[in-house]
Amino acid sequence: MWIFIPCLAAFLLWTIFNSFFMPSLPKKNPAVNGYPLLSVLVPMRNEERNVKSLVASLKNSTYPKIEFIILNDQSTDRTQQLLEEEIGGDSRFTILQGAELPTDWVGKVHACHQLQKAAAGELLMFVDADINFGPEAFQQSIALMQQKNAKSLSGFPAFEVAPFLSKLLVPMQHFVVFFHLPLGLANYASFPAATAAHGAWMLFDRKVYEDIGGHQSVRNSLVEDVHISREIKKAGHRMLLANITESVSSKMYDTNKEVWEGFLKNSYTGIGRSPVMAVLLTLFYILFYVIPFALAVIGIFMLKPLFVVPYLLICLQQLYIMLRTRQNPLLAFLMPFQAGAMIAVLLHAMQKSRRRQSYSWKGRNYL
């Protein structure tokens, strides 16, 4: 018990301290130097459920010099039809038809590569189809990137969670960033290993993006957002990870199957397919984030209040992150189950990788 309490208290204090190295988007109507042309680039594959809300967010944007380019990546649903209906005669929009996927490319990466080639902007903003954002979100992101003298900016949205599995796994994205990533190194040092990004919201200075080879440089990556951000740092430029949750939200998944497949695709690849790291993370989370729940149950039945303290500490750690990122604070009390779900998907992903079984996503398979 005397190991759990000081360690978990230290984890909580570290998380609070670490969070201060992640800047938030500026508030209302920030100034932008020169107002460069912004190209907003959206890859879409079978996104009919998201078309209406996405186009509405795009149309409501207040940034004055902007173009929207959407690539329909061989959708088999009503994505194209709904895009045409929702866009209407708005001349800021262009719809492209995606080319066949080459054998050595990941689908989304290839779509982003095609989008960039059609863009005219000095700044490139890649966004996912499942996001919603405020009218000033683009301007806020550009202003912050300029203020911090960065050449790229990304952030994790506030997540809308509906399926049960999303309540367990999706909040762990923010947890991993605030707890495991040293944000001081990520945002204020040219250290490529300390890098995180979210592909739903990625802003680039076009010249720097092209100098590093753009998405072509990470064409076969399943975690292209992180890898392209590392390339930015390797080239000597600053990449900024910001708290964008006040302005940007995302509903990533509609079904439990989608949740599992999405995390299966990214979890093991996200740690470099390292079995050693997977085992160490599994042991760490079992020890510090699963066992405290068992201790709390024992403490309640045996009337030993001290046994409940480790569980309360891990819930407080998650609660702090939830409040910083506009998540449902009640989900913090599921922290042991969130950790357990993360362990399960990581071990499943490792098993598939070692057996050379492919990951499936949106009708495509990747090793």
pLDDT at 366: 65
Asked if pLDDT for residue 120 goes beyond 80, the answer is yes
Residue 58's alpha-carbon distances to 53, 67, 69, 223, 253, in angstroms, are: 9, 10, 11, 25, 21
Asked if pLDDT for residue 367 goes beyond 70, the answer is no
Average pLDDT over residues 195-223: 95
Angle of helix 4-19 versus helix 309-324 axis, rounded to 10: 10
Tokens, residue 77: 């649903």
Cα distance between residue 125 and residue 137, in whole Å: 11
Domains in the chain with CATH codes? 4-17+260-366 (no CATH), 22-252 (3.90.550.10)
Is the CB of residue 43 less than 8 Å from the CB of residue 73?
A: yes
H/E segment holding residue 89: none
Asked if pLDDT for residue 83 goes beyond 70, the answer is yes
pLDDT at 363: 66
Q: 1 pLDDT band (50/70/90 cuts)?
A: low
Average pLDDT over residues 36-65: 96
**Phi, psi torsion values for 361, nearest 5 degrees:** -155, 120
Asked if pLDDT for residue 122 goes beyond 70, the answer is yes
Other beta carbons within 10 angstroms of residue 261's beta carbon come to 17
Tokens, residue 340: 């357990």
pLDDT in tens, 175-207: 999 999 999 999 998 889 899 999 999 999 999
Other beta carbons within 10 angstroms of residue 277's beta carbon come to 15
Out of 17-21, 26-30, 252-256, 356-360, pick the least confident: 356-360
Cα distance between residue 21 and residue 17, in whole Å: 8
Q: 163 pLDDT band (50/70/90 cuts)?
A: confident
pLDDT in tens, 261-314: 889 888 888 888 899 999 999 999 999 999 999 999 999 998 888 999 999 999
Asked if pLDDT for residue 76 goes beyond 70, the answer is yes
Is the CB of residue 163 less than 8 Å from the CB of residue 65?
A: no
Own/partner pairs, 27-31, CB within 8 angstroms, 24+ separation: 28/136, 29/136, 29/139, 30/136, 30/139, 30/140, 30/143, 30/144, 31/143
